[in-house]
Amino acid sequence: MARLKREAELLRSLRSVQEITMLVFSMSVAIAIGVFAVIRVLKGEYAFATHNFIISSLALILFFRVWIYRDILRTGLLISGVCVVGAVTVVYVGGGIDHFYWAYPGFIAPFFMTNTRNATILCAIGCLFLLPKFWIAADPLVFARAIIALFVNLIFGVTFSVANNIYRNNLERKVKTDGLTGVANRRALDEALRALVITPLNQREEYYVLMMDLDHFKGVNDRFGHAQGDHILIEFAGHVDLRVNSIGNVYRYGGEEFIVIVQTDRAGAVALAESLRASVEVSRILAGHTVTTSIGIALLRDTDSADSVLYRADEALLKAKAQGRNRVVMSADDFDENSVKVVA
């Protein structure tokens, strides 16, 4: 239990890239604009100074909001709003188009702080308020330059944001996907279990961990070759994923071992495991050879760590193999009867 608490505290203390980006950006804005505010006061430009103080103060407030509450979604949107509003109002308060250059950082920043849709909407609204000022104060050539500059700025922001999201999603998918079977890998499993174990049982549903192992897989590899072994792993993973996809998640634990995490009760976990065992046995994954699997089940308890629940599932799996393989066994700590299914 003590280890679980330490692990949970460590996870909660780690800050994401988005949090760090917002912290650095908001503090930088607060300091930089605050310096401008002081300069404006010394020059007697009190309206401009007031504007700068407001923007600087808002940035500082948002810094502490991220630092204390770690709410990056709403805070990112608020930071984006401050950037756009600040870039627009500085033109009106500062006396016109001479301060147009603030639109560049002000309209680009939202694409780093919030999602593409929100950033685009905010910048479009900002343009609607900013362009009339140019229409009144500038000659046609300056107005045309302003429109083109803002348009290019917006296109760059949208393009960068979309490309970054695609790259990040693809990278995350590759990092968390097993290269051979296409199901989630050990890294994804570790993250999923950590997320569950730090959530108190009274705040989540009941989860069970099924550890599956292909019976006599080494013998299959030796007899049919590693290419056929890989084929069996791919077909087995796809077979299990197809039947679990709507109710749980499948992970490759290592070698011929796979993990299924499913949100259900004890009877549901046993029924699912038995259904998977039986369907694998009749699936004919390898032509002319019967492939079977042994399955160990463990309940994810409130006092569990990721390691402890996997340990109990592994113990149940070893019992299934010791009892003859091709069967389902519930962890002795989670069920009164060791063997749920015995195959003669």
Residues classed as catalytic: 256
In whole angstroms, give the CA distance from residue 53 to residue 132.
Answer: 26
What single DSSP character describes residue 261? Answer: E
Distance between CA atoms of 328 and 212, rounded to whole angstroms?
9
Unique residue bearing structure tokens 């299959």: 220
Contact at 8 Å (CB) between 123 and 110?
Answer: yes
* Pairing of the two strands 248-254 and 257-263: antiparallel
Q: What is the dihedral of CA 245, 251, 257, 261, to 10 degrees?
A: -70
Return the number of other C-beta atoms located less than 10 Å from residue 255's C-beta: 11
Token pair recorded at residue 305: 């760590």
- Report the half-sphere exposure of 78 (CA within 13 A, side-chain side): 17
Give the distance, in angstroms, between the CA of residue 243 and the centroid of all CA atoms in the same chain. 24
